[in-house]
Amino acid sequence: MKFFSGFSLKNEEELFDFWLDKSQYSVAGFSYGAIKAFEYVYNSKNRVDRLILLSPAFFENRDLAFKKMQIIYFKKNPQIYIDNFLNNINSPKSSIDLSKYIKIGSSNELKELLYYKWDIKKIESILNRGTIIEVILGESDKIIDTKEALNFFQKYTTTYLMKNANHILRTKDDKYSNYRM
């Protein structure tokens, strides 16, 4: 399996073992990494049976002012921005320590994820190749608008909404939702 990490993260794949298919024909990505995984599969000539998008970065419903402010805050102090980001992806707070996964990202990466448009034609192209696309969203996600993401993805993919789960798909007691793929 090929895994793509989220913005300013590295090696967090283990956090998602519950949902991952370790097959050589699977590709997965978390948040910003979901964009990277999606584009990788779209552009790949290799066989991919399953594409797993974990809390995909979805900011299409956010206005330009929000996006510009995020980039300004990041450029002003990347460490403070990342600290706030880590708190928000793990809210409601679980006891998982995310500090070991930190890799300060770039403003270009942040801009890419904020302005990314999920292309329906690309989704259809991937599906037409026989690849199953699964999207897993946390009901209590503080990063993305889960309702908007759910409304978009459920039209085209197999989409799961994890009850009471945050952006890293955990509940405040560190348990996975009672739903399983």
Q: What is the mean pLDDT of the chain?
A: 93
**Contact status, residue 34 vs residue 138, Cβ threshold 8 Å:** no
In a domain, 167, yes or no: no
Examine the pLDDT at 175 and tell me if it is beyond 80.
Answer: no
Q: Give tens-digit pLDDT for 111-124.
A: 999 999 999 999 99
Which residue range(s) make up the domain with 130? 2-162
- DSSP letters, 33-54, are HHHHHHHHHHH--S--SEEEEE
In a domain, 72, yes or no: yes
Q: What is the rounded average pLDDT of the residues 156-180?
A: 80
In a domain, 20, yes or no: yes
In a domain, 63, yes or no: yes
Examine the pLDDT at 181 and tell me if it is beyond 60.
Answer: no
114 C-beta neighbours (distance < 10 Å), count: 20
In a domain, 180, yes or no: no
Strand ranges across the sheet with 158-162 = 2-4, 26-30, 50-54, 132-138, 158-162
3-state SS assignment for residue 86: helix
Q: Give tens-digit pLDDT for 124-153.
A: 999 999 999 999 999 999 999 999 999 999
Q: What is the pLDDT of residue 93?
A: 73
Q: What's the CATH code of the domain at 116?
A: 3.40.50.1820
**Separation CA 148–CA 163 (nearest Å):** 16
**Which residue has 């908007």 as its token pair?**
148
Range among 39-48, 82-91, 96-105 with highest mean pLDDT value: 39-48
> Could you tell me the pLDDT band of residue 178, with boundaries at 50, 70 and 90?
very low
Q: What is the pLDDT of residue 59?
A: 98
Examine the pLDDT at 91 and tell me if it is beyond 90.
Answer: no
Q: What is the pLDDT of residue 174?
A: 63
Q: In whole angstroms, how far apart are CA 114 and each of 59, 70, 110, 169, 170?
A: 6, 9, 6, 20, 23
Examine the pLDDT at 13 and tell me if it is beyond 50.
Answer: yes
- Please give the biggest Cα pair distance in the chain: 44
In a domain, 46, yes or no: yes
In a domain, 174, yes or no: no
Q: What is the rounded average pLDDT of the residues 170-174?
A: 76
Q: What is the pLDDT of residue 172?
A: 73
In a domain, 181, yes or no: no
Q: What is the rounded average pLDDT of the residues 46-59?
A: 97
Residue 143 one-letter amino acid = I
